[in-house]
Amino acid sequence: GAGVSQSPRYKVAKRGQDVALRCDPISGHVSLFWYQQALGQGPEFLTYFQNEAQLDKSGLPSDRFFAERPEGSVSTLKIQRTQQEDSAVYLCASSFSREETQYFGPGTRLLVL
Amino acid sequence: AQSVTQPDIHITVSEGASLELRCNYSYGATPYLFWYVQSPGQGLQLLLKYFSGDTLVQGIKGFEAEFKRSQSSFNLRKPSVHWSDAAEYFCAVGTAQGGADGLTFGKGTHLIIQP
């Protein structure tokens, strides 16, 4: 795989359900970022990992949002007790190091009913 | 905190005509600037980036952008657009080279190409 992959591509959840979104970064990329993109808006930063360490989670909108990257590769963004305002596209990006350009995956479109 | 303004929500250009998309940023130090393009259902693709040096930056697909510190601008240009350029364009600013602290994006400009 040459690029960042994300799964699922689409997710429909009932309000109150928990969801887990997966990101597979480019092999060898140390840095991994999650962004939230609401309809008609630009992406907004959620959180940043360097290897397995979560160095910045200042953008997570509430304590219902949780991200992990236990082995420094694949990352999962978990949203507990989903609300309608969580409906958005969730984008993952990775870079070789913190000094390098971020490359984005196709995103997961989450719809909470 | 940094911010990015893209004043034009929509722009319509005839195929073959020139294009300029505006981007203004706010940041206290030297910014690291990016333009990304997003096609429907696709992720963000990097068009070009400015870290330092020459203020006129060349990118992919025939795009270029010019960093003007005095105007806090980083406008994107293309001399002749193609129908395949129709997409959403995002300007972004980073506070570390490559944006390790997370990029701050503008709201985007939707480009429509008329035949």
- Are residues B106 and A45, on separate chains, in Cβ contact within 8 Å? no
Looking at residue B65, what is its pLDDT? 98
Q: Which letter does DSSP use for residue B28 in this model?
A: S
Alpha-carbon dihedral of residues A86, B38, B104, A22, nearest 10 degrees? 50
In this complex, is the C-beta atom of B37 within 8 Å of any C-beta atom belonging to chain A? Answer: no
pLDDT of the residue at B101: 67
Instruction: Return the closest-CA partner of residue B48 out of B92, B80, B18.
Output: B92
* B104·A98 Cβ contact <8 A: no
Domain ranges of chain B: 3-114
Q: State residue B28's pLDDT score.
A: 76
**Domains along chain A?**
5-112 (2.60.40.10)
* CB nearest A42 (choices: B46, B99, B107): B107
- Residue A2: the pLDDT is 78
* pLDDT at residue A29, as a whole number: 93
Q: Do B34 and A101 touch (CB under 8 A)?
A: yes
Regions of chain A short of the pLDDT cut 70: 1, 98-99
The CATH number assigned to the domain with range B3-114 reads 2.60.40.10
Q: What is the pLDDT of residue B90?
A: 97
* Chain B residues closer than 8 Å to A101 by CB: 34, 46, 49, 98-99
Across the 115 residues of chain B, what is the mean pLDDT of every consecutive 10-residue run?
A: 93 97 90 92 89 91 95 97 96 72 91 95
Res A1: pLDDT: 53
